[in-house]
Structure 1
Amino acid sequence: MSEFDIPAAEVLEARQKLVLDHFRDEVAQDWDATLSTFPHPHYEVIATMTVHDGDSAVRGYYHDTRTAFPDQHHELIALRHSADAVIVEFWLKGTHLGPFGKLPATGSKFRVRMTAYFVFDAEEKLVCERIYFDSLSMLKQLAGGIDKRKPKNWPVLVKLVRGLLAMSGEQPDRRLVETTEPTLSARS
């Protein structure tokens, strides 16, 4: 199979069902069901340059994001198929009620447009969810909900800036930066 070959309709339907079940189970916070969609859970979050690999790491990712945004949910925009992936555009929505990494809770709501690539291997097993989003859009919304004119909010703003500075010094996961250019087929 080359990068030009799109699988049969029944394969695409099965992939789509798995992805939609995955989304539904994430919103319901049914982590066992969500993780059952992978033989080996693996998330790549490009905006933060982090990889969550394996059951324990992915459960930690779920815990941390739902501590920060307990009401996190999705609103689908579009779903597309490719030779080896289902590509989903969606709004991620929630309220920042707990710490998000080194960022303190702001109480702000957010709505950020995202794209997730659900990548399948040759045996039609889900091997990766790779998520792309504009982190500045999210950060602007998280900080934007704080009334900066009120002195009682200034300590949160200071903690927010300190958290951002600390996070900016973190090294990206090498698996996301040490990539190899693919060998593509040439069609005449």
Structure 2
Amino acid sequence: MTAFDIPDRAVLEARQKLVLDHFRDEVAQDWDATLSTFPHPHYEVIATMTVHDGDGAVRGYYHDTRTAFPDQHHELIALRHSADAVVAEFWLLGTHLGPFGKIPATGSRFRVRMSAYFIFDADENLVCERIYFDTLSMLKQLVGGVDKKNPKNWPLLAKLVRGLLAMSGERPDPRLVNTAEPDLGQG
């Protein structure tokens, strides 16, 4: 099989079912079922340059994101198939009711367009969910819902700025930075 060979319909349908089950189980916060879609859970969140590798790390990621956004859910836009992946476009929605990293809860709702690559190996195992989204769109919505003219909110706004500054100094995961250009056989 080459990079140009698209698997047959049965393989694509099986991948699509797995991805849709994964989405459904995430919204239901059924972490055992969600994790069962991977032989080894692995998330790469490009917007934050973080990797969550293994059962414990992924459960920690689920815990942290659902503490921040307990009602987090998806609205699917489209699914696309490639030789080794299902690409999902969706809206991610939720309400900021707990800390998001070092950013304190604002009570604001958000709706951010995202894409996720569900990558499969040669044995049709899901090996990675790689997520892309625009953090500025999300942060604008989280902070934008706070009334900045109300002096009662000024301490929260100061904490938000401190949290954003602290997070901006975090180092990216080297697995996402130290990449090699692929050999496409055109040299």
The residue number in structure 2 matching 1:129 is: 129
Matched, 1:18 2:13: no
The residue number in structure 1 matching 2:92 is: 92
Which secondary structure does the structure 2 equivalent of 1:59 belong to?
helix
Which secondary structure does the structure 1 equivalent of 2:75 belong to?
strand
The residue number in structure 2 matching 1:178 is: 178
TM-score, length-scaled by structure 2: 0.99
Tell me, in whole angstroms, the C-alpha distance in 2 between the residues paired with 1:22 and 1:124. 15
Tell me, in whole angstroms, the C-alpha distance in 1 between the residues paired with 2:84 and 2:181. 17
Which secondary structure does the structure 1 equivalent of 2:61 belong to?
helix
The residue number in structure 2 matching 1:69 is: 69
Which secondary structure does the structure 1 equivalent of 2:71 belong to?
coil
Kept in 2, the 8 Å contact 1:3–1:185? The answer is no
- Return the offset for 1:185: 4.2
Matched, 1:152 2:152: yes
The residue number in structure 2 matching 1:4 is: 4
Which secondary structure does the structure 1 equivalent of 2:6 belong to?
coil
TM-score, length-scaled by structure 1: 0.98
Match for 1:117: what amino acid? Answer: Y
Tell me, in whole angstroms, the C-alpha distance in 2 between the residues paired with 1:183 and 1:75. 36
Tell me, in whole angstroms, the C-alpha distance in 2 between the residues paired with 1:183 and 1:129. 23
> Residues 23-172 of structure 1: matches in 2 within 5 Å?
23-172=23-172
CA RMSD for the aligned pairs? Answer: 0.6
Match for 1:25: what amino acid? Answer: D
- Return the offset for 1:132: 0.1
Tell me, in whole angstroms, the C-alpha distance in 2 between the residues paired with 1:146 and 1:67. 19
Tell me, in whole angstroms, the C-alpha distance in 2 between the residues paired with 1:80 and 1:166. 37
Deviations 1:103-128 (A, max 9, x none): 00000000000000000000000000
Q: How many residues align?
A: 186
Q: Which stretches of structure 1, 4 residues or longer, exceed 3 Å deviation after superposition?
A: none
Task: Using the aligned pairs only, state the percent identity.
Answer: 84
Match for 1:135: what amino acid? Answer: T
Tell me, in whole angstroms, the C-alpha distance in 1 between the residues paired with 2:115 and 2:80. 11
Match for 2:39: what amino acid? Answer: P
